[in-house]
Amino acid sequence: MKKTMKHLIVAIVLGVSLTGATGMPVLAADLEQLKEQGFARIAIANEPPWTMVTTGGEVSGAAPDLARAVLKKLGVNDVVASVSEYGAMIPGVQARRFDMVAAGLFIKPERCKAVLFSQPDLCDAESFMIKAGNPLNLKSFADVASSGAKIGVVGGGTEEKLAIEAGVDRANIVVVPDPQSGAKLLQDGRIDVYALPVLSISDLLKKAKDPSLAMFAPVENTPIFCAGVAFRKQDSALRNAYDVALAAMKASGEFAAIVEPYGYSADAAMQQTRENLCGGPN
């Protein structure tokens, strides 16, 4: 009873303290407020092994597990996750719908203009899920463009941008509502290729158990991408505190112990820097 009362009181106090002059709730924007709130609201995508939500609502995956561990070092005890399309994550964190994005959001110059990133945490190459034997011989986004193949991509994600930049006709770009539905569209012959990072396609193939599906990787002329946690531009103190804790976990081996069981290389992330991936300071 006491615990409930405490939580209730905290909630009432927070209700007051989190209401700005306009009467609109001012949601947590810095570390002290997150500690008081007791959790950080994170955006995820439900794209295993980066982010995963079970049918019971449990949140795991390399990105949330790492964010939870880093935030615990900072005195924030848990995370509350919302599933979002990649294209809505940055607007969502800017609008304070989330306190941060912990979804394997790739650090890229255009994104670095809109948000602050942590130092890199999860790196991977790009891959194509195709029909076994790769009948259209698709090895690059340029091949997709020249062949007139239909490509499935997650909305607002890197693969959509790579397809557009390679000149794939927009009519041949099929935005899938969630990462899992792309495999189904390929199985049903509604698309010819589905583009996601290697670990995502590997996970989908393992679960599909369908010998008619295969992976081509790495996609030619695409780099190894590295993700980071994204914060509002105004929350530099929070981002910097997160970075200090992340660096300590990289040095102690705790970082590797969290990400490597999911298939990620700790070294790949530790050899990269946000500044290099942003093309300058961020």
Catalog residues that contact ligand 6CS under the rule CB under 6 A: 47, 50, 86, 104-106, 154, 157-159, 196-197, 200
> Which CB, 31 or 198, lies closer to ligand 6CS?
198
> Which CB, 37 or 51, lies closer to ligand 6CS?
51
Measured in degrees and rounded to the nearest 5, phi and psi for residue 94 equal -65, -35
CB of 25 to ligand 6CS, least distance (A): 29
CB of 19 to ligand 6CS, least distance (A): 34
> Which CB, 200 or 202, lies closer to ligand 6CS?
200
> Which CB, 48 or 130, lies closer to ligand 6CS?
48
CB of 188 to ligand 6CS, least distance (A): 21
Q: Which residue is nearest to ligand 6CS (CB)?
A: 157
Q: Report DSSP letters for 216-270, one per residue.
A: E-SPTT-PPEEEEEEE-TT-HHHHHHHHHHHHHHHHHTHHHHHHGGGT--HHHHH
CB of 130 to ligand 6CS, least distance (A): 17
> Which CB, 242 or 262, lies closer to ligand 6CS?
262
CB of 94 to ligand 6CS, least distance (A): 16
Compute, in degrees rounded to 10, the torsion defined by CA atoms 235, 238, 239, 243: 170
CB of 159 to ligand 6CS, least distance (A): 5
> Which CB, 34 or 124, lies closer to ligand 6CS?
124
In angstroms, the CA 257 to CA 244 distance is 18
**Alpha carbon distances (Å) from 71 to 36, 59, 104, 225, 277:** 13, 15, 16, 24, 23
Measured in degrees and rounded to the nearest 5, phi and psi for residue 21 equal -55, -30
Measured in degrees and rounded to the nearest 5, phi and psi for residue 45 equal -120, -15
> Which CB, 37 or 272, lies closer to ligand 6CS?
272
Measured in degrees and rounded to the nearest 5, phi and psi for residue 117 equal -110, 150
CB of 104 to ligand 6CS, least distance (A): 3
Sign of the torsion angle spanned by Cα atoms 83, 86, 88, 91: positive
> Cβ contacts of residue 126 below 8 Å, gap of 6+?
158, 159, 162, 195, 196, 197, 198, 217, 218, 219, 222, 225
Measured in degrees and rounded to the nearest 5, phi and psi for residue 241 equal -65, -40
